[in-house]
Amino acid sequence: MLKAELRACEFIGRMGGDEFAVVFPETTFATALEFAERMRSKLASTPIDVAGRRISVAPGVGVADRSGGKAMTFCAARIWRCTR
């Protein structure tokens, strides 16, 4: 679902388990935030079939920029908070 929304210069990678990171090298912080919210809403409103049952998900999202050089540490901490 996420891959279909990305431009050629953007990419997605699995960080672990059910955690993913999306990199937007040519995007403003505000645009990345809009994308994150749009994907969160889309995921939350799309039930998933698991063993014949439809379940809903409640995704948590976060956006960080590379200023300060610790964006991935910040993102990992935010993802951890969303899972607790």
Q: Which domains does the chain have, with CATH numbers?
A: 3-83 (3.30.70.270)
Q: In terms of Cα–Cα distance, which of 34, 35, 29 is closest to 6?
A: 35
* Residue range 49-75, pLDDT digits in tens: 999 999 998 888 878 777 656 666 666
pLDDT in tens, 5-52: 888 888 888 877 777 888 887 888 888 889 889 888 988 999 989 999
Amino acid at 55: I
In DSSP notation, 10-56 reads -EEEEEETTEEEEE-TT--HHHHHHHHHHHHHHHHTS-EEETTEEE-
